[in-house]
Amino acid sequence: MVQKWWGELNHKYANIETDEFVVMPNHFHGIILIVGADLRVCPDKGATAQGAHIGAPLPGIMQWFKTMTTNEYIRHVRTDGWTAFSGRLWQRNYYEHVIRNDESLNQIREYIANNPAQWESDRENEDGTDMKPSDTKDEVWLR
């Protein structure tokens, strides 16, 4: 269901392309490429008309994605017996990272692709081995 709505982002927003992603048991990783993004990558803080920058549309994209997946999940709870959740399906916020070059993009793609293999030692996995990675590649790019 999450994968379905991830794919719908490309239809909903003409200025983005979805890239590598993975749905994990308790979280989700995905790369959104903003087509024609302003390379200055700075927020719009009262910019003048000349040189004005309109920030990336990521907050609206994430809000839509979370809303659509939450609503569908609730429908499946009611009609198909999916396990109900208390509180929120998604955490309030999300982690974003501006990818500035191909090397970083490829490292993050690799991290996402390899994430399922790391699930057994993930600190959020209640059934895992509770191993904490010391300074693995995933820790490096998240800093």
Q: What is the pLDDT of residues 3-53, one digit of tens each?
A: 999 999 999 998 899 999 999 988 899 999 988 766 665 555 544 444 444
* Amino acid identity, position 114: N
User: What pLDDT band is residue 135 in, cutting at 50, 70 and 90?
Assistant: very low
* Amino acid identity, position 80: D
**In the prediction, which pLDDT does 143 show?**
28
- Could you tell me the end-to-end alpha-carbon distance of the chain, in angstroms, rounded to an integer? 30
Give me 139's structure tokens: 């820790």
pTM over 0.85: no
* Amino acid identity, position 32: I
Q: What is the mean pLDDT of residues 41-66?
A: 65
Q: Answer whether 114's CB lies under 8 Å from 106's CB.
A: no
Q: What is the mean pLDDT of residues 49-71?
A: 78
Q: Specify the DSSP class assigned to residue 54.
A: P
d(CA 134, CA 121): 12
